Amino acid sequence: MKFASYNSYKIFMSEPPYLKDLNPEQKAAVIQTDGPIMIVAGAGSGKTRVLTYRIAHLIATGVDPFNILSLTFTNKAAREMRHRIEGVVGLEARNIWMGTFHSVFAKILRIEADKIGYPQNFTIYDSDDSKSLIKSIVKEMNLDDKVYKPNYILSRISNAKNNLIQAHVYQNQSELIAYDETTGRGKIHEIYTEYAKRCFRSGAMDFDDLLLNTFKLLNNFPDVLHKYQHKFKYVMVDEYQDTNHCQYMIIKKLASVFENICVVGDDAQSIYSFRGATIKNILNFEKDYPDLSVFKLEQNYRSTETIVNAANSVIAKNKDQIEKKVWTKNDAGNKIKIIRAVTDNEEGKMIAQNIFETKMSEQKMNSDFAILYRTNSQSRSLEEALRKLNIPYRIYGGMSFYQRKEIKDILAYLRLIINQADSEALKRIINYPARGIGKTSLDRINIIASNEEKSIWEVILVADKYPELKGASKKLKNFVEMINSFIKLTKQQNAYEIAMHVARTTNLLKILNEDKTIEGINKYENIVELLNGLKEFVEDDTNESEKDLGSYMQDIALLTDSDKENDDNDRVSLMTIHQSKGLEYSKVYVSGLEENLFPSQMALADRTQLEEERRLFYVAITRAEQNLTLTFATSRFRFGNLLPCEPSRFIDEIDNEFLEFSKRVITKPQSQKSSNTNFYRKKQEPSSLKRTISRQNNPKMLRPPATENFIHEHIHDITIHMKVEHQRFGFGEIKSLEPVENPEKATIIFDDFGEKTLVLKFAKLRRA
């Protein structure tokens, strides 16, 4: 292995202008074009710029962009890189094979699908489709759905596929079956086998199949392997530490002829083992390529010196890592604040109050702030606290636009038009809107399809030949005729025109337009927005996809969480630490720094898992540009009980010189002090302890703000149009009272939950 640097290269006087934007180590990584290369990119080290300029440099030095394969983990990252490359080399950048693993491999599979027995227009199942199919299989096998939960089963199947274990192989793996039996789920191998059969019969692939089937193509068809090995003479992989075994094997096969492979990543940010990613891929990269050149990007441009050094002091505790020392020329900045709260609710209040005060004193935007947490369940207390101070926020990882029911309904029609074998899409819309094809008929169709190993579509095409379907045969015939009429349009109209015709013909638009509730209006507007998106898709000249319906459906099926359109509104960002990877904020709060929460209780018995938790903490620290605040509670509600908590070991792993303990710390009464007190005294300076505030000795802290008076204690004060707040539904406006005199019920239109009718006696409303 060669550790390379810019000084080892002779740069001509007339170097390209884009190289002048790079530091010496970045330049070295950009201009070495041939051979195996690993770029170890520390947090905030300008990785995207290096990737962009490296591809631009390849094209500028004569490499045909059609021969470049660039793999990323989000479409958003690929679009951003392609746009930057265009700025350097022009429209030639559009000829690069660039995108996520799944989007690039889906493109290859559509070209080569017939070789593995799939139609070219195969459907891509999302997790909801997969879970629905698994649920059906579990029911048909008469298994306990409380034991064989779809989430768990899908996770086991996904893990198997990521390790190249197909269904027929799983059946012969005694260790896997023995493990399933110990968990009381000994039939998983049978479910996996049936799941694979049903997907194949439906002409459908789930996300993991896009990887597994690409490997099968390359492994079983030498001519296909030869074709793509010689097409992709230069292979670049971003976020290599996040690749799984299947991705690793595909990359290795594709790059084996020319070995012009460049992987970019940071072992210190490997945090996705639960998705099948393995850190060994980056740690052991040299074993595959002994002539490997390694470039280390160690200068951090994002964070203050204090934050960078604090992150270094934490990650240094890990044993499995590539040695590097991240540094920065940025100012030292403020120390990292540690805030201690008595409960998780108080933790939320202190964070919200801190954000409120910082906004006022420093004239900051809400979008400058982010609150990170280990698990989604922690957001509750944070949301409540932010709402009470009228601080707008956005939660990442919520329901995607394309996961909303009304959107999935119309997309199911479009999926069926493209692929009639798609049984999950067919089941979703065969009786929506209602057309008299009930559950009993559908169950009978399912049984026939299963017994005859046919798709549901094949059964309903000849429904009149089955006596048990006689009562529904006419309705099924009408349904088939409607879908066939849609199919004919695909040869004459573009994606937008077809979707509009479907929305009108099925009465989906009419039904939603007639629903004048808040929910109904929102659903109608969502359908309109989908149609607007289709219109934009077919009219976008810069869109490299075909304008047909199949291309559009593939594009949206392959969207990742990070590809959701950003909200331009000025809001505080709330998200798990996993979701924060790749993002950066001026001011970051990491909440819930407690043992058994962060690090997770499941990680404490295994060093490998504990090291991943530490890498997760490293990611959290390095999201911050200017200010970082870490918070923990000495008690937290879990399963309905208030349990004592101990501060996370990760706080103790930060060198003390980088920490500052908040003066607003609230201690527990003497009788309730637990083992965490010793920890806190050890980390605090004596002067900080003297300034610690006791809740018992500060009655002002116990007094609720005037805005928190309960309306239900003053019922006669309620009026129509009054602005109110509910603990669960948030802010809203009173629409009507029943009865008007001495009201007992109120109908309220809430900002986020629409119209609700509440009994005032129990509602516990507050004036907003």
Q: Is 428 a catalytic residue?
A: no
Torsional class of 543: left (φ above 0), alpha (ψ -120 to 50), beta (otherwise): beta
Q: What is the C-alpha separation between 265 and 274, in angstroms, rounded? A: 18
Contacts of 488 (CB under 8 A, 6+ apart): none
Q: Is 623 a catalytic residue?
A: yes
* 3-state SS class at 16: coil
Give the distance, in angstroms, between the CA of residue 335 and the centroid of all CA atoms in the same chain: 31
Q: Is 696 a catalytic residue?
A: no
Token code pair at residue 115:
């070789």
Of 47, 76, 187, 388, the catalytic one is 47
Instruction: Give phi and psi for 598, each to the nearest 5.
Output: -150, 95
Of 269, 328, 378, 634, the catalytic one is 269
Contacts of 218 (CB under 8 A, 6+ apart): 224, 225, 228, 250, 253, 254
Is the link from the previous residue into 433 a cis peptide, with omega within 30 of 0?
Answer: yes
Strands 723-726 and 730-738: antiparallel
Residue 145 CB: number of other CB atoms within 10 A?
A: 11
Q: Is 672 a catalytic residue?
A: no
Q: Helix axis angle, 188-201 relative to 127-140, nearest 10°?
A: 120
* Residues 553-583: b if buried by 16+ CB within 10 A, e if exposed: bbbbbbbbebbeeeeeeebbbbbbbbbbbbe
Q: What is the per-residue DSSP string for 236-264?
A: EESSGGG-BHHHHHHHHHHTTTT--EEEE
The amino acid that residue 248 corresponds to is Y
Residue 667 is inside which H or E element, if any?
strand 666-667
Closest CA to 251 of 265, 264, 236: 236
- Tell the burial category of 365 from Cβ atoms under 10 Å away from its Cβ (0-12, 13-18, 19+): exposed
Q: Is 320 a catalytic residue?
A: no
Q: What is the C-alpha separation between 173 and 165, in angstroms, rounded? A: 9
Of 238, 267, 344, 725, the catalytic one is 238
Q: Is 238 a catalytic residue?
A: yes
Of 623, 636, 668, 766, the catalytic one is 623
Sign of the torsion formed by the C-alpha atoms of 675, 680, 682 and 688: negative
Q: What is the per-residue DSSP string for 535-560?
A: HHHHH-TT--S-SSHHHHHHHHHT--
Torsional class of 223: left (φ above 0), alpha (ψ -120 to 50), beta (otherwise): alpha
Of 25, 206, 239, 242, the catalytic one is 239
Strands 723-726 and 766-767: antiparallel
Residue 359 CB: number of other CB atoms within 10 A?
A: 18
Catalytic residues: 47-48, 238-239, 269, 623
